Amino acid sequence: MIDKELSQKILTLGVSKTTYGGMAAVLVSYEKCFEKMRFIPTWRLGNRAVKAWYAFQAIVRCFLLLLLDKRIKILHIHGAANASMYRKGVFIKMGKRFGKKVILHQHAADFIEFFRESNDKPQIIKIINLCDKLIVLSQSYKEYFSNIGILKEKICVLNNIVFPPKEKWKKEKDGKLHLLYLGEVGYRKGIYDLLNVLNANKEYFEDKIVLRIGGNIAEGDINGFIAEHDLSSFVKYEGWVSGTKKTECLEWADVYILPSYNEGLPIAILEAMSYSHPVISTDVGGIPEILHSNENGVLIKPGNEEQIKEALVFFVENPEKISEYGKNAYQTVQPFFPENVFSELEKIYKELLV
């Protein structure tokens, strides 16, 4: 818990907590662990007018608070890639002009692609180096940012936060592998690769696996794909899931899968591990730092449908490994529990306040 004495010195900026996605989930978690968190939403999913309004009101509110409230010492800015990077640059510069310490907390799974394709690389590096601290989600991202020109002494790794389940539950057995996908429904996340595998091997999987998919649709027609390929007998799209529905899905699952093409360190994987579920996912971003084949899940290559098939068959044919790997997954995720993460965050804040 970040107590009131410290939290009143911190102004947090990021996406609206009602928005879909990992960053919003992080901010919701932070609100639970800050005593009276001071927060300004800078972006919300919507049309151009909605996005423009959120950016405008955030700039005005931030300016007035920094001008009038002398208690604020630190801006903790949660950011991503693309347009988010440039929006957050406005607040970084504002914070420094008011003489505040500034933290940029980088959540973007696609920052590497964004930076590689950008024509403004020197400007992006300059903006980030204005910050007093750059928080990243994994050691691999720390090395990446150091290699592109961010001052190494500014970069620190802070784990994403996940709350373990409050109680144990009894799972009904039906003899099938309960497979769960939670995340944005789009090509980048590899969900259609998974569906291709199930469709190509339907005769084998249809009476051995039940797949539930939860998440907002970003690309493609998930319901159309399921109907067109006659997968509805063992594949179900749940739509966006949160709250008790999300808990029910996690309690129902045996194995979590995320065959994504790029990631930071997904909250969804950490949540699945906290429920003692083994994970099938790709060797991108910070995932290989916590996911190890033959220990707590199966690590695969992005886009490799044969490896997806092999991983699914492994758990179908070796159900005893689900419990073994699940226990290991729970041990892996303990450093991401609130008491450990906020102890580290408190150290970062206090270091900047000295």
Q: What's the rounded Cα separation, in Å, for the pair 135 and 137?
A: 7
Burial category of 167 from C-beta neighbours within 10 Å (exposed 0-12, middle 13-18, buried 19 and up): exposed
Token pair 């607040």 is found at 91
Spatial separation of the C-alpha atoms in residues 228 and 195, rounded to whole Å? 12
For the beta carbon of residue 259, count every other beta carbon within 10 angstroms: 25
Q: Which residues pair with 281 in a beta bridge?
A: 258, 299
CA-based nearest residue to 343, from 334, 140, 24: 334
pTM of this prediction?
Answer: 0.86
Helix (H, G, I), strand (E, B) or coil at 297: strand
- Work out the end-to-end distance of the chain between its first and last CA atoms, rounded to an integer number of angstroms: 20
Task: List, in order, residues 6 or more apart from 34 with CB less than 8 Å away.
Answer: 1, 2, 7, 10, 12
Secondary structure (DSSP) of 139-197: HHHHHHHHHTT--GGGEEE-----PPPSS--PPPP-SSEEEEEES-BSGGGTHHHHHHH
pLDDT tens profile 303-336: 999 999 999 999 999 999 999 999 999 999 999 9
The single-letter code of the amino acid at 351 is E
Per-residue pLDDT tens digits for 223-239: 999 999 999 999 999 99
pLDDT of residue 174: 87
Domains and CATH numbers, the chain: 4-160+337-353 (3.40.50.2000), 177-335 (3.40.50.2000)
Flag whether pLDDT at 21 surpasses 90.
Answer: no
Please determine, for residue 272, whether its predicted confidence score (pLDDT) is greater than 90. Answer: yes
Calpha distance 59→30 (Å, rounded): 22
In this structure, of 93-97, 243-247, 296-300, the range with the lowest mean pLDDT score is 243-247
Read off the pLDDT of each residue in 149-161 and give the average, rounded to a whole number.
96
